[in-house]
């Protein structure tokens, strides 16, 4: 698998440290330096120290992989480096304590290929991520990079490229799932001398990082994909619209553009053909709505990023009024593989209507957080329970939210649903750009809906009324419900207004913003009802609806809770059962945390009041029996 | 283009591709409610109230932005649509304060109207408080953004119509709102208080500032703004005999929904307490009120006495380019037929005489050759000696729109930075007074580089060869030397203009008020003809200072022309008028305005009738003008106010304002527009037309008109381009002129291929240096220009409470380098001294001024014309009032020092 990378390194044994954003924040830059130092100090020859982009298994970061054998180290630190060098490289004995441990069995797994998180994935988009040095074009070329572009420029007409894409069945990975080939065809057919090719890398979903990792780990794939797309539609200029909050991705993309240009893969008369193409990088200023294509184009034009009504679609009137194609990072990263290996090969993966693979940023209450790429049609259960390793701490699964902040929350009985555009939409959620947030039984679904809506509400551009004011109305109602002031009519109001916003909003942000609310209403209506009618939060998350009590028969009057209470709401005395003043309590939960486990005297309840004494009473301690000594 | 048919509420209707569902519905008489839609703005689909349903798939479409497509089955009022609309309106009402009862917007509020239409009273939704009110300290606009519905109209109007860019969206989510850069108050922002945003705001969020609740207008009267020559159509909201607001007319082809600060907020002079309410007669040096009968009989008697004693030419009439066409026509008829002299002139002499002479000499026509639409369509716009943003805002708006939205390239030629320079592809800064050298140089360059429009020159013009030869002197090196503009910039400008598909040249007082003004205009016309841009494509746009400057001249309020520019020496023309007016006409050309003053000084002219003009402020050397006028035996002034001029009069006649009379104004482009009466005249004041007719009657020669309509009919007969068909032609550009006598000269308002004389004539003009007064230590060139919040001689704008409040005191701008050299700073008081006079003022540093140039905005405390010489230019008989040489003296606490 990493033969190519090894080739780039002169076939030496190589240790690759991950330098994706996650691992870099885990000090992988320092780790790389320490490793180099150790190798030099210990006089090891025949070992290269190199780095890659994101491996996707960020939960285990910083990670490192030793090739060609494929030993996978997790949670490495600067301090581990001398040991790896000495034990592994000098003495040929890999460091077992740094191996990945299976969360279920606890068994250490030395080889990358044996780890379920990886073995069950099928990596097309992320094929090079974690395997090549993203800052070296030779690595990319060694993996077959730019073969597709060569083929396109030498053997194919733009029409043939479009036909191939159409046949592959690739659909836009940005969320809407429109046929990429058709999109190119519209733009190709649109009259105009000047056309633009835009890569939408404005990944704004909270917790999603698949586009970032792709650009950090394999920027040239995206650039090659864009170049092929530009050839197909007839564009001579392109833009990569990338979040300024992704400094590493920006840096690597800029470097990759420079390298590609130096090698003649970009610029004038690419590879000796008549095709010329240039790419500019435009850094976005952090507005979520700029991921919407018309807002994105407005932003490139230097205007405020606000969506406009379509039609006209970008294919006929896009950037500066010229025909424009906008594709997501992942769609473009797929293009070179489709060209290189053929549409039929690609279409053999996936379902009838959704071909190929999709990438999810798996996060939330799940053992293996990270990036996973799976074939379309895979069941949610497989992603969550097997690749994701299930819910940690033996907790029960409650819901999974797909598609970013405007996706829907699906309950357990949807776990056997195949993952594809149609099924997710039918279930009230969406594919979106690939966020996947897993929630366990301790998650309050009303609170989750409130959280996601507060995000979309704040990120609304404010242009159209339903999205600007409607989401705010819904949010206020949700806040009210979470605050214990819900009214019976609120459920209907949320439902009606949600549908109104979906039908009446201008862009996809408003059209999908109510999804988390509508799906939780659909699948977890009982939780809403509990909040409204019983003033009870079943997950005991909504602070206004929970109460903390000290159980008189368990309290041993140790006083720890009273000392830690930040608002002095707990009263008690020596050998007196402590009492929480409910008026003063701010429900921070500190008392519950600090109460010694052997007593477990604090309890948290919702929807009811416990009949405990209001004033401290003497503790009921069974006195140790004193045996009379005769 | 093939039409698309859709089914609209069950009825098939057709429209062209690109038509929105809303537009098609409106054409078909189907009502769809809207809030953020405005016919002059690009639709954005923000309010979503115009949602309609496509029955084929149940999709809800915002009809203002959804283009029709084949097969659509649209329902505009299905229960689902209505339900959605109501919800959206409720959402808006939920985030809107409940202050309707005390809101000044009253029944003009569009939100309220829609709520009433849909029957929404109570809203069950949660109230969402809106951002706080911004306190504005300006006297014009008040924003209460708690009432904002974020329709974005103000922002679009600001950016798309007036292209100012003072406001834009700020923040996201519910915090979004229109804001200035850094959210500063309007008066500290780029805002020019044009009031366009106020006019489009559907709610009370942006309102004209009123101290008290004024309520809803009872009637709205459509009329024409009386300030500059643009002739913007305004709507006056009238309640209880007061103008309570002024709005731009959204459908006007001139201003298209825009206005400027003067138009929006400066019309309150009508209600100034200074208005004259009855005739005044001077007894023992003091005015006393009198009746019309007495006043007019005194005037008639004195005029007739002077005529009898000293001849008709001892009388002079100076009329107003602010008055209506009818009034100007009556005035010149009175002057010629009753007084019996050609001593009549109008205020436009000071500003626009050069256009009449210069364009008349070359094109055979006396003014602007195209409509504002032509200007906005031009691919290259060449602005020379004009600051239309200040002097003629509607024209500036059109230029900025052309640049910003239609890809026009703008060339600005001005020594000073103006608001337009930031839009310019090329900004050339010639030395003041070198325009002819520059224009000739550009022409020579175009000829030398063979970039001229040869076909046009051959077919449409004559005298090319002689003219081209006259340019031989204007080599690049010499022009660079004279103008100070680098050769490469000259080349760029020449190539840009010559390469334009449609090129327009805009010029203003920077050209028409310079010493060689007529020559400069001729040079402009030559350049336009050379590039094929006179009339056929693009055009020449001569800015007019005053609202009816064009009309006053058209009507013959000129000493050397009869109505319709018929030559005085034309016996036939005179005969036609003599027969109609039952009198004999003098063929001797009369005196121009300045000549009348000189004749008064010399004791030749003894009596004057001055209408709505204030020579004691507007003419050079005001103190000398006063002295001259004081020598007159008899002065009658008709005015709205007791101006400096009126103070000198023996009899003062109170005149009605524009809002108190009927008539027509002709704007700078020749469009004749109706002025409608909105109010009753103040006191017993009368419209000037009535004053003139009563005076004619008192003089024993009553005019045969019992209504203005009859006056208009006579004008139409005598001035061919005021014939209704020709007038309509000017408005619409429709070339069908079959009704009009095509053989008469000047019968066309706009060109459509042919020049009035058949050919345009190239006329050689030579650059002559301004006589150098700098040798006397006058090392600065003082330039004067208009000010945004003042107008003309300041008679009206100084009596507009709001404009007056916002105008800074008078000041003199100086470059930082010059200020440093003099050891003065931004607060220094200085004495400005020319060879002719001096004045005291404060300094203001302006870094964009070139070294050696000083700039002073006109019409503050006045007095600046004391510095200018009362020398008349030969061709135009007008004084040069743009620049003069001065020196500065710093004033110290106690004395003076250089």
pLDDT at position A205 over 80: yes
pTM across the whole model: 0.92
Residue A458 is nearest to which of B47, B66, B172, comparing CB atoms? B172
Cα separation of A616 and B106, whole Å?
64
Cα separation of A361 and A170, whole Å?
20
* A residues 456-485 lying closer than 8 A (beta carbon) to B: 457-466, 468-473, 476-477, 480
B336 and B365, same domain (yes or no): no
Residue B494 is assigned to a structural domain of this protein? yes
Cα separation of A299 and B727, whole Å?
47
Residue B48 is nearest to which of A287, A304, A464, comparing CB atoms? A464
Quote the pLDDT of residue A61: 85
Query: If pLDDT is split at 50, 70 and 90, which confidence band does B740 have?
Result: very low
Residues in contact with A349: Cβ distance below 8 Å, sequence separation at least 6, in sequence order: A122, A124, A355, A356, A357, A375, A376
Q: How many CB atoms lie within 10 A of CB B18?
A: 12
- Residues from chain B contacting residue A469 (CB–CB below 8 Å): 91-92, 94-95, 128, 174
Give the tokens for residue B677: 């009466």
B499 and B584, same domain (yes or no): no
Q: A524-533, B448-457, B515-524, B534-543: which range is least confident on average?
A: B534-543
Residues in contact with B499: Cβ distance below 8 Å, sequence separation at least 6, in sequence order: B380, B451
Please name the fold of domain A3-114: Glutaredoxin (3.40.30)
B613 and B480, same domain (yes or no): no
CB A246 within 8 A of CB A222: no
Shortest alpha-carbon distance between residue B62 and chain A (Å): 8
Place of tokens 């009811």: A608
Judged by DSSP in three states, A560 sits in helix
* B residues 37-66 lying closer than 8 A (beta carbon) to A: 44-49, 51, 60, 62, 65-66
B535 and B480, same domain (yes or no): yes
Q: Answer whether A70 touches B (CB < 8 Å).
A: no
B500 and B419, same domain (yes or no): yes
pLDDT at position B735 over 50: no
Shortest alpha-carbon distance between residue B97 and chain A (Å): 14
Shortest alpha-carbon distance between residue A486 and chain B (Å): 13
The answer to whether A465 contacts B47, with C-beta atoms less than 8 Å apart, is yes
Q: Answer whether A296 touches B (CB < 8 Å).
A: no
The answer to whether A463 contacts B150, with C-beta atoms less than 8 Å apart, is yes
Query: If pLDDT is split at 50, 70 and 90, which confidence band does A1 have?
Result: very low
pLDDT at position B617 over 50: yes
Which residue pairs, CB below 8 angstroms and at least 24 apart, start in A24-33? A24/A248, A26/A61, A26/A62, A27/A62, A27/A77, A27/A78, A28/A61, A28/A62, A30/A78, A31/A62, A31/A64, A31/A76, A31/A77, A31/A78, A31/A81
Q: How many CB atoms lie within 10 A of CB B684?
A: 13
Query: If pLDDT is split at 50, 70 and 90, which confidence band does B571 have?
Result: very high
The answer to whether B47 contacts A459, with C-beta atoms less than 8 Å apart, is no
Quote the pLDDT of residue A326: 97
Which residue in B52, B86, B93, B174 has the most chain A C-beta atoms within 10 A of its own C-beta, making it the best mutation to test that interface? B174
CB B746 within 8 A of CB B565: yes
CB B704 within 8 A of CB B714: no
B389 and B334, same domain (yes or no): no
Residue B94 is nearest to which of A461, A469, A506, comparing CB atoms? A469
pLDDT at position B743 over 50: no
- Domain end point (choices B543, B561, B590): B543
Quote the pLDDT of residue B725: 59
pLDDT: is A423 or A1 the higher one?
A423
Which residue in B173, B176, B203 has the most chain A C-beta atoms within 10 A of its own C-beta, making it the best mutation to test that interface? B173
Half-sphere exposure of B790 (CA within 13 A, CB side): 22
Judged by DSSP in three states, A201 sits in strand
Place of tokens 């304002």: B657
For B169, the closest chain A residue by CA position comes to: A304
Q: Answer whether B31 touches A (CB < 8 Å).
A: no
CB B530 within 8 A of CB B452: yes
B462-495 pLDDT, tens per residue?
Answer: 999 999 999 999 999 999 999 999 999 999 999 9
CATH of domain A137-347: 3.40.50.11540
B618 and B690, same domain (yes or no): yes
Cα separation of A608 and A535, whole Å?
8
With left for phi above 0 and alpha for psi between -120 and 50, is residue B157 left, alpha or beta?
alpha
Please list, residue by residue across A581-599, b when 16 or more beta carbons sit within 10 angstroms of its beta carbon and e when fewer do. Answer: eeeebebeebbbeebeeeb
B800-833 pLDDT, tens per residue?
Answer: 989 988 877 788 999 999 988 888 877 788 999 9
Shortest alpha-carbon distance between residue B125 and chain A (Å): 7
Residue A506 is nearest to which of B45, B128, B169, comparing CB atoms? B45
Relative to beta strand B280-283, strand B286-289 is: antiparallel
- Domain end point (choices B219, B243, B271): B271
Closest CA to B316 of B640, B613, B691, B593: B593
Please list, residue by residue across B474-496, b when 16 or more beta carbons sit within 10 angstroms of its beta carbon and e when fewer do. Answer: bebeebbebbebeeebbeebbeb
Q: Answer whether B128 touches A (CB < 8 Å).
A: yes
Quote the pLDDT of residue A67: 87
Q: Is residue B771 packed enough to be buried (19+ CB in 10 Å), middle (13-18) or exposed (0-12)?
A: exposed
CB B74 within 8 A of CB B21: yes
B188 and B201, same domain (yes or no): yes
The answer to whether B128 contacts A500, with C-beta atoms less than 8 Å apart, is no
Cα separation of B464 and B462, whole Å?
5
The answer to whether A504 contacts B125, with C-beta atoms less than 8 Å apart, is no
B38-65 pLDDT, tens per residue?
Answer: 999 999 999 999 999 999 999 999 999 9
pLDDT at position A8 over 50: no
C-alpha angle with apex B698: B697 to B701, nearest 5 degrees? 45
> What average pLDDT does range A308-329 have in this prediction?
95
Judged by DSSP in three states, A1 sits in coil
- Residues from chain A contacting residue B62 (CB–CB below 8 Å): 309, 506
Query: If pLDDT is split at 50, 70 and 90, which confidence band does B355 have?
Result: very high
Cα separation of A265 and A268, whole Å?
9
- Residues from chain B contacting residue A470 (CB–CB below 8 Å): 91
The answer to whether A308 contacts B44, with C-beta atoms less than 8 Å apart, is yes
Among the CATH numbers 1.10.1510.10, 1.20.1440.230, 1.10.10.10, 3.90.650.10, which is that of A446-533? 1.20.1440.230
What is the ipTM, given to two decimal places? 0.89
Cα separation of B778 and B781, whole Å?
8
- Residues from chain A contacting residue B18 (CB–CB below 8 Å): none
The domain in which residue B260 lies consists of 126-271
B93-111 pLDDT, tens per residue?
Answer: 999 998 888 888 888 899 9
CATH number at residue B365: 3.40.228.10
- Domain end point (choices B252, B271, B290): B271
Shortest alpha-carbon distance between residue A533 and chain B (Å): 20
B644 and B587, same domain (yes or no): yes
Task: Show me where the domains of chain A are located.
Answer: 3-114, 137-347, 357-443, 446-533, 545-618
Q: Answer whether A353 touches B (CB < 8 Å).
A: no
CATH number at residue B676: 3.40.50.740
Q: Answer whether B111 touches A (CB < 8 Å).
A: no
The answer to whether B176 contacts A497, with C-beta atoms less than 8 Å apart, is no
B207 and B294, same domain (yes or no): no
Q: Answer whether B145 touches A (CB < 8 Å).
A: no
With left for phi above 0 and alpha for psi between -120 and 50, is residue B61 left, alpha or beta?
beta
Closest CA to B868 of B766, B770, B789, B798: B770
Give the tokens for residue A478: 């949700």
The neighbouring-strand residues paired with B811 are B842
Q: Answer whether B102 touches A (CB < 8 Å).
A: no
B767-795 pLDDT, tens per residue?
Answer: 998 765 556 678 899 999 988 998 888 88
Q: A329-333, B118-122, B479-483: which range is least confident on average?
A: B118-122
- Fold match, A357-443 / A446-533: no
pLDDT: is B834 or B860 the higher one?
B834
Q: Is residue B123 packed enough to be buried (19+ CB in 10 Å), middle (13-18) or exposed (0-12)?
A: middle
Number of domain units in chain B:
5
Shortest alpha-carbon distance between residue A285 and chain B (Å): 13
B298-317 pLDDT, tens per residue?
Answer: 999 999 999 999 999 999 99
CB B669 within 8 A of CB B372: yes
**Stated length of chain A:** 630
The rounded percent of chain B whose pLDDT value lies above 90 is 75
**CATH classification (class only), A545-618:** alpha beta
B246 and B149, same domain (yes or no): yes
pLDDT at position B736 over 60: no
CATH 3.10.20.600 fits A357-443, yes or no: yes
B530 and B601, same domain (yes or no): no
The rounded percent of chain B whose pLDDT value lies above 70 is 94
CATH number at residue B250: 3.30.70.20
CB B834 within 8 A of CB B884: yes
A18-54 pLDDT, tens per residue?
Answer: 999 999 999 999 999 999 999 999 888 888 999 999 9
Which residue in A463, A487, A489, A496 has the most chain B C-beta atoms within 10 A of its own C-beta, making it the best mutation to test that interface? A463
């Amino acid at each position: 698998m990493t033969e190519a990378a090894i080739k780039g390194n002169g076939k030496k044994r190589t240790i690759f440290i991950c330098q994706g954003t996650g691992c870099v924040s885990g000090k992988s830059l320092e780790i790389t330096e320490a490793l180099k130092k150790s190798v030099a100090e210990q006089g090891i020859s025949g070992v290269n120290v190199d780095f890659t982009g994101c491996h996707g298994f960020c939960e285990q970061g910083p990670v490192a992989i030793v090739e060609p054998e494929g030993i996978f180290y997790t949670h490495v630190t600067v301090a581990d480096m001398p040991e790896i060098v000495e034990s592994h490289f000098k003495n040929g004995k890999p460091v077992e304590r740094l191996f990945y441990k299976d969360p279920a069995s606890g068994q250490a797994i030395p080889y990358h290929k044996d780890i379920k998180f990886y073995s069950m994935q099928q990596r097309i988009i992320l094929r090079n991520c974690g395997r090549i040095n993203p800052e070296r074009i030779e690595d990319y070329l060694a993996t077959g990079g730019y073969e597709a572009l060569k083929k396109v420029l030498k053997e194919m007409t733009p029409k043939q490229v479009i036909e191939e894409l159409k046949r592959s069945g690739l659909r836009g990975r940005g969320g809407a799932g429109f046929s990429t080939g058709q999109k190119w065809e519209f733009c190709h057919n649109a009259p105009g001398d000047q056309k633009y090719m835009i890569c939408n890398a404005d990944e704004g979903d909270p917790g999603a990082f698949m586009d970032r990792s792709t650009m950090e780990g394999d920027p040239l794939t995206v650039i090659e994909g864009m170049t092929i797309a530009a050839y197909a539609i007839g564009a001579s200029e392109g833009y990569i619209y990338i979040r300024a909050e992704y400094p590493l991705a920006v840096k690597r993309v800029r470097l990759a553009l420079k390298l590609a240009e130096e090698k003649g893969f970009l610029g004038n008369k690419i590879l000796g053909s008549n095709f010329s193409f240039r790419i500019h990088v435009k850094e976005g200023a952090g507005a979520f709505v700029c991921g919407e294509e018309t807002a994105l184009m407005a932003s490139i034009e230097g205007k405020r990023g606000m969506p406009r009504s379509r039609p006209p679609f970008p294919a006929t009137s896009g950037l500066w009024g010229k025909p424009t194609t906008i594709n997501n990072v992942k769609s473009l990263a797929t293009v070179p593989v489709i060209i290189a290996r053929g549409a039929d090969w690609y279409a053999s993966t996936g379902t009838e209507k959704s071909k190929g693979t999709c990438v999810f940023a798996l996060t939330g209450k799940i053992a293996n957080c990270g990036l996973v790429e799976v074939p379309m049609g895979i069941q949610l259960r497989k992603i969550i329970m097997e690749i994701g390793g299930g819910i940690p701490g033996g907790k029960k699964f409650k819901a999974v939210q797909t598609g970013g902040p405007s996706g829907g929350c699906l309950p357990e009985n949807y776990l056997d649903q195949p993952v594809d555009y149609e099924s997710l939409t039918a279930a009230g959620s969406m594919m979106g750009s690939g966020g996947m947030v897993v929630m366990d039984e301790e998650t309050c679904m009303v609170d989750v809906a409130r959280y996601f809506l507060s995000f979309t509400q704040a990120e609304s551009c404010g242009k159209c009324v339903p999205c600007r004011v409607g989401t705010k109305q819904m949010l206020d109602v949700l806040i009210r419900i979470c605050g214990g002031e819900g009214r019976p009519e609120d459920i209907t109001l949320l439902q009606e207004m949600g549908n109104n916003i979906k039908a009446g909003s201008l862009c996809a942000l408003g059209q999908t913003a109510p999804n988390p609310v509508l799906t939780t209403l659909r699948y977890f209506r009982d939780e809403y009802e509990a909040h409204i009618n019983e003033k009870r939060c079943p997950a005991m998350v909504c602070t206004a609806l929970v109460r903390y009590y000290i159980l008189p028969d368990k309290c041993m009057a140790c006083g720890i809770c009273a000392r830690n209470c930040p608002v002095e709401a707990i009263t008690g005395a020596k050998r007196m059962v402590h009492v929480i003043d409910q008026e003063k309590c701010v429900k921070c939960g500190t008392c519950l945390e600090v109460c010694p486990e052997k007593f477990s005297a604090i309890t948290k309840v919702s929807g009811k009041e416990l009949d405990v004494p209001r004033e401290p009473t003497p503790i009921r301690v069974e006195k140790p029996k004193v045996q009379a000594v005769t | 283009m093939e039409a698309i048919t859709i089914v609209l509420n069950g009825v098939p209707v057709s429209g062209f591709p690109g038509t929105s569902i809303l537009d098609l519905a409106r054409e078909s008489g189907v009502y769809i409610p809207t809030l953020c839609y405005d016919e002059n703005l690009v639709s954005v689909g923000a309010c979503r109230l115009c949602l309609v349903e496509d029955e084929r798939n149940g999709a809800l479409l915002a009809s203002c932005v959804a283009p029709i497509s084949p097969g659509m089955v649209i329902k505009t009022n299905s229960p689902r649509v209505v339900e959605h609309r109501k919800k959206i309106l409720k959402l808006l009402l939920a985030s809107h304060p409940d202050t309707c009862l005390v809101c000044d917007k009253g029944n003009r509020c569009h939100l309220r109207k829609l709520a009433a239409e849909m029957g929404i009273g109570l809203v069950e939704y949660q109230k969402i408080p809106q951002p706080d009110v911004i306190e504005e300290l300006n006297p014009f606009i008040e924003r209460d953004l708690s009432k904002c519905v974020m329709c974005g109209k103000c922002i679009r109007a600001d950016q798309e119509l007036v292209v100012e860019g003072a406001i834009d969206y700020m923040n996201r989510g519910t915090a979004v709102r229109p804001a200035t850069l850094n959210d500063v108050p309007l008066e500290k922002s780029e805002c020019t208080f044009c009031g366009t945003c106020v006019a489009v705001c559907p709610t009370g969020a942006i309102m004209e500032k009123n101290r008290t609740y004024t309520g809803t207008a009872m009637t709205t009267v459509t009329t024409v703004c009386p300030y500059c020559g643009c002739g913007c159509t305004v709507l006056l909201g009238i309640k209880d005999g007061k103008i309570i607001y002024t709005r731009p007319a959204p459908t006007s082809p001139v201003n298209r929904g825009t206005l400027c600060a003067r138009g929006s907020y400066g019309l309150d002079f009508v209600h100034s307490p200074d208005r004259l309410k009855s005739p005044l007669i001077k007894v023992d040096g003091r005015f006393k009120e009198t009746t019309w009968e007495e006043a007019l009989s005194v005037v008639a008697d004195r005029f007739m006495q002077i005529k009898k004693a000293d001849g008709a030419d001892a009388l002079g009439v100076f009329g107003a380019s602010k008055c209506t066409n009818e009034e100007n026509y009556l005035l010149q008829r009175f002057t010629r037929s009753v007084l019996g002299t050609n001593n009549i002139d109008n205020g436009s002499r000071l500003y626009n005489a050069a256009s009449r002479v210069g364009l008349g000499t070359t094109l055979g026509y006396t003014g602007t050759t195209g409509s504002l639409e032509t200007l906005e369509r031009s691919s290259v716009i060449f602005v020379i000696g004009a600051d239309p943003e200040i002097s003629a805002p509607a024209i500036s708006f059109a230029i900025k729109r052309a640049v910003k939205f239609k890809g026009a390239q703008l060339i600005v030629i001005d020594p000073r930075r103006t608001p337009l320079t930031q839009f310019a592809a090329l900004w050339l800064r010639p030395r003041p007074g070198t325009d002819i050298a520059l224009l000739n140089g550009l022409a020579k360059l175009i000829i030398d580089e063979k970039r001229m429009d040869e076909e046009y020159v051959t077919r449409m013009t004559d005298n090319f060869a002689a003219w081209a030869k006259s340019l031989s002197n204007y080599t690049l090196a010499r022009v660079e030397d004279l103008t100070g503009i680098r050769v490469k910039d000259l080349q760029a400008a020449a190539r840009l203009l010559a390469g334009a598909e449609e090129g327009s040249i805009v010029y203003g007082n920077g050209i028409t008020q310079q010493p060689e003004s007529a020559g400069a205009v001729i040079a402009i016309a030559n350049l336009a003809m050379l590039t094929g841009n006179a009339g056929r494509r693009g055009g020449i746009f001569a800015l007019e200072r005053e609202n009816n400057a064009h009309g006053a001249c058209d009507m013959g309020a000129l000493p050397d022309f009869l109505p319709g520019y018929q030559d005085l020496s034309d016996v036939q023309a005179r005969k036609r008028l003599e027969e109609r007016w039952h009198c004999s006409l003098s063929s001797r050309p009369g005196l121009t305005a300045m000549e009348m003053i000189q004749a008064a000084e010399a004791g030749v002219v003894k009596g004057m009738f001055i209408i709505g003009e204030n020579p004691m402020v507007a003419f050079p050397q005001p103190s000398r003008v006063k002295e001259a006028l004081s020598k007159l035996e008899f002065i009658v002034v008709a005015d709205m106010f007791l101006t400096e001029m009126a103070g000198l009069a023996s009899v003062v006649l109170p005149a009605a304002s524009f809002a108190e009379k009927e008539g027509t104004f002709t704007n700078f482009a020749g469009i004749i527009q109706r002025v409608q009466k909105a109010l009753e005249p103040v006191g017993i004041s009368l419209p000037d037309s009535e004053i003139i007719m009563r005076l004619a009657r008192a003089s024993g020669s009553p005019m045969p008109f019992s209504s203005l309509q009859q006056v208009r009919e006579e004008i139409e007969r005598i001035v061919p381009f005021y014939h209704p068909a020709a007038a309509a032609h000017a408005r619409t550009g429709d070339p069908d002129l079959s009704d009009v006598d095509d053989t008469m000269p000047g019968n066309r308002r706009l060109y459509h291929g042919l020049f009035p004389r058949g050919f345009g004539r190239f006329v050689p003009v030579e650059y002559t240096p301004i006589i150098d007064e700098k040798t006397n230590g006058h090392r600065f060139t003082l330039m004067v220009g208009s000010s945004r919040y003042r107008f003309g001689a300041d008679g009206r704008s100084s009596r507009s409470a709001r404009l007056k409040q916002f105008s800074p005191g008078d000041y003199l701008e100086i470059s930082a380098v010059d200020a440093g050299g003099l050891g003065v700073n931004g607060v220094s008081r200085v004495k400005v001294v020319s060879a002719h006079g001096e004045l005291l003022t404060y300094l203001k540093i302006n870094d964009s001024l070139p070294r050696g140039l000083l700039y002073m905005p006109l019409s503050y405390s006045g007095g600046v014309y004391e510095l200018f010489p009362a020398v008349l230019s030969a061709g135009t008989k007008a004084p040069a009032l743009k620049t003069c040489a001065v020196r500065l003296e710093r004033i110290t606490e106690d004395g003076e020092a250089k």
